[in-house]
Structure 1
């Protein structure tokens, strides 16, 4: 049920709670354990603080998520102060909801076992390589973030507890078998119907339209005949990728010498550890090892660190920046050397140096071609920016044409055909370019060509300089241009009205039992019976399923329109039960229960908020 709730829910709090992977939870959750007691809080929820640091982390995570989701559109939205305030308020609201849920979980006694925490750690993709848990990666990530394993485990316990609360709410909703069967029968119901179509196009061809009708329609609907403003643009495009540069052996050697650290793997060290709660336990372990006990077997038996114990104490390869200070200061130099008892922030350790891999530097020959490409690219970018400045200066100095810019760039300007805001040429389809064209800054009086644009950069390695070559303002199309279209529209309107009037009359006759004669007079007949399913979303099908059940040995009648605008007379002959595969029925029931569970969860959150004492810190913007 939890996986289904995670998929189906649209509630923003559920999305945040269920969407968080463990690392992002640490970033927004563990801070509460590390930055407690700060009087400069963002909010207090029933006396429990949410720190400003916590809020800033949550806000930064939400900003990064929105930026990844919206792409280029995000930069436009981010310039809107109101949008960014709303995002910060949303982040704070989510933190408050998480705090309320955590408090409620504790109140009703929900708990997570140590085994559940271990399993959650082992199953996290962030700590895996090729689908398998990687102890070195786990330790490296935690060390880089400055978190001890027990702090991380406590944060994880908090998240899993809240998830357990959500699961307990979701599991309270269900459908009885009889209810499920009735719901499935209703959804899978089938209806046997016949149709008679009044062809609107055929009626339209018979309609007459006067000149006065065309003129009146034109006057009353001028807004429908507006020709949008149009532009023709001349532009010069600069592209760094098109600039070909060479790389000499001297250039390559110099780049390699200056960036050798990029091709250097630092010294790596591999340790195994046994972690204990007390110094006495650690000393006993050390004594046993000195007497010849097997380190791996002893680690699995005695170590309280579940991660390394599972692998016989092995911590994997560690580089200097990921190595804990306790191991750095242990004084281990030789392979197989044992440490003494080491006091750490998580208890006591006994460590063994298993292996040392010296620093390795890739030779130039191995990375020669790779560096040559980088040198060429850097040279091309340098040349690109120099050319960009040169073209920009020329466009500014001769602001009435692109002739100077053409000479500086060494290319001729390209001129587009006429286009509107809705059909910008693909070559100019970049938001900064479109903004320059359409914001009016490049136009003179009455839309006449004005000045050259500044250099407009797009995607970092391309740039444009352009000018408006010609412009047509928005205007009403002349009557002569749209007369044929108006005539067709009027004919269609008249035909539709005639078809509806005819259908209403026929419907009344059918309901009165005089349908056969009326249909014959109208030269209409019902077609062959067809079976319609509720899942069809067409207008005709929806109208059929709104009709009352047909009488015995009779039909129920109604009207609709097909996808072409024709008027359709409907004769519902029979309603019958359909069949639904068991898997589809289960999915239907699942969807209903998920929706009900979401409603229940929203009600729980609303109740917790109403009963809670929530106090916001000074300067916190809350709507």
Structure 2
């Protein structure tokens, strides 16, 4: 129904149009029809202007899109001038791409006929009722959006031309049937392999390490043995939720008297309406009603508004603030009273006042406990802020300890254990608190005692006063603490080198046909055959599929590692074709085709940009 009668439904319609019909190209491309060209342009593309209004509209659309996508995270990003500037540049870049595509479509003779535009409009669900195009609904929607049918049709013509161009580029890439089969065979290929593991753990225990090796390793890897800076913090926490306050009946009564409007429901009226296209139709409906016709039946039969018609004309309860002027001025005072013919912005109405609810005020007894909680909360917050100021003053006046703040808050300060930047106690894990601890401002110089912090407020009506009780600067662990670890690392490193050297020797023997004797001497044997596909999660899968194909009646050999660092000898005995369902094969081919089409389309855009003459307006940031 019309916008001035039911704001809520109108908003839904606008959302449908903005979401499903008016794509970014239409929203921005229509700017030239709404605003005449002038020198104040954002960019010129081969002489065609992109107005600043177009750019601002595209920028606003992108903001709305990202806000919907990112939610609360967008607020933090929006505070960054650099981020918002980049978003503005992206919006302008998109407009330039659209302009280039539009120009190219015209250059190669892509055109959209009036009949194609008509069919595109007829097929839009938002313009339909019960699956059929509704011209009144179409005109009403465009009117609400401020567009004429000609303006919308011209913008849609541009959009369809660009879509046709994109489809023509995307449709140029394809795979032949033989190529599809070869690709599917390669992807689904299976390899039968055996493996023999050289245990690095077993070799590690046999390695010896000298003192000089330990010392050299320590000197060369000191950064690995750094202990980060550490803190111990004393703090006092204030929390409004823990404040104990009392509330009297007088307090509750006073709050109720001052906020009585919060518990008042204004007078409400309930109307039913029948909407028609012409005054004559409305008069005919009114005559039938006066002759005794049932309003609900007549509304379902003759109202052109599908939403209220389904409900027998019922519009639901309306308060004075939401009641449209047509109904306010209809002079309906008594239940069951009919209006005359009412002219509206989209047609004519006949209305009936179905019911009136007088203003109602909830009695105090009904909302007593709710108000008591509210008054307690307000008093607690008031006491909390007074205490916060008192503790802040005490911490400032006695800046060498928290003793004065403890006395003011009537609580003892809490001292944490040692922690680093990565292990902050949960009670202090608030960004403002962490910044105060780690920014260096609370530490004294050269180990001297530091100072108390100011009051630090955090979410949830909480606040902290703190001081750094002790501090340890970043330092390298002494060799004595890490000797065992270094020794084990060196042994492991030596064992790994020995295992790889042994594997390379065995590989030479295996490839020369002398593998059996060499494997026996190394006390190694290949395990049972296993079949691997490309999608297997085994640590050796990639290495197996990188091996050369085995010779006929022979074996191909290689070296890899398992998931724990052991060295693995690989014996590839056979390569065989796997199977791939037809649907999966088609999806694979489609993915390759789409990827190639995307590359081709990006190449087209890149070429158009290189050849284009693009001039930016004054003050437009393009860096």
The alignment's TM-score, normalised by the length of structure 2, stands at 0.79
Q: What secondary structure, in the 3-state scheme, does the structure 2 residue paired with 1:549 have?
A: coil
Quick check: 1:283 aligned with 2:277? no
Q: What secondary structure, in the 3-state scheme, does the structure 2 residue paired with 1:550 have?
A: coil
- Distance in 1, matches of 2:156 and 2:49, equals 20
Quick check: 1:37 aligned with 2:38? no
Q: What secondary structure, in the 3-state scheme, does the structure 2 residue paired with 1:558 have?
A: strand
Alignment of 1:466-545 (within 5 A): 466-545=466-545
Alignment of 1:45-64 (within 5 A): 46-47=48-49, 49-51=51-53, 54=57, 57-58=60-61, 60-61=63-64, 64=67
**Residue in 1 aligned with 2:10?**
none
- CA offsets, 1:4-35, max 9 Å, x none? xxxxxxxxxxxxx99x8469989x94997799
- CA offsets, 1:403-432, max 9 Å, x none? 111111111111111111111111111111
Q: Which runs of 5+ in 2 are unaligned?
A: 1-14, 132-136
**Residue in 2 aligned with 1:270?**
271
**How far did 1:86 drift?**
2.0
- Distance in 2, matches of 1:611 and 1:361, equals 72
Q: Flag the structure with larger Rg.
A: 2
**How far did 1:435 drift?**
0.9
**Residue in 1 aligned with 2:71?**
68
**How far did 1:287 drift?**
3.0
**How far did 1:592 drift?**
4.2
- Distance in 2, matches of 1:167 and 1:364, equals 67
**Residue in 1 aligned with 2:348?**
349
Q: Which runs of 5+ in 1 are unaligned?
A: 1-16, 124-137
The aligned length equals 576
Does the 8 A contact of 1:270 with 1:355 survive in 2? yes
Q: 1:152 to 1:269 in 2, by over 3 A?
A: farther
**How far did 1:458 drift?**
1.4
- Distance in 2, matches of 1:97 and 1:524, equals 64
- Distance in 1, matches of 2:617 and 2:310, equals 45
Quick check: 1:375 aligned with 2:375? yes
Q: What secondary structure, in the 3-state scheme, does the structure 2 residue paired with 1:532 have?
A: strand
Does the 8 A contact of 1:283 with 1:341 survive in 2? no
Q: 1:500 to 1:566 in 2, by over 3 A?
A: same
Does the 8 A contact of 2:28 with 2:58 survive in 1? no
**Residue in 1 aligned with 2:246?**
246
Alignment of 1:281-360 (within 5 A): 281-292=278-289, 308=308, 314-334=314-334, 335-344=336-345, 347-358=346-357, 359-360=359-360
Does the 8 A contact of 2:21 with 2:124 survive in 1? no
Q: 1:600 to 1:350 in 2, by over 3 A?
A: farther
**Residue in 2 aligned with 1:118?**
126
Q: What secondary structure, in the 3-state scheme, does the structure 2 residue paired with 1:270 have?
A: strand
- Distance in 1, matches of 2:147 and 2:317, equals 21
- CA offsets, 1:178-233, max 9 Å, x none? 55554443333222111111111111111111111111112222222211111111
Does the 8 A contact of 1:229 with 1:471 survive in 2? yes
**Residue in 1 aligned with 2:134?**
none
The alignment's TM-score, normalised by the length of structure 1, stands at 0.79
Quick check: 1:401 aligned with 2:404? no
What RMSD, in angstroms, separates the aligned Cα atoms of the two structures? 4.2
**Residue in 2 aligned with 1:127?**
none
**Residue in 1 aligned with 2:464?**
464
**How far did 1:102 drift?**
8.6
- CA offsets, 1:13-61, max 9 Å, x none? xxxx99x8469989x9499779942866656774453517535634653
Q: 1:405 to 1:25 in 2, by over 3 A?
A: farther
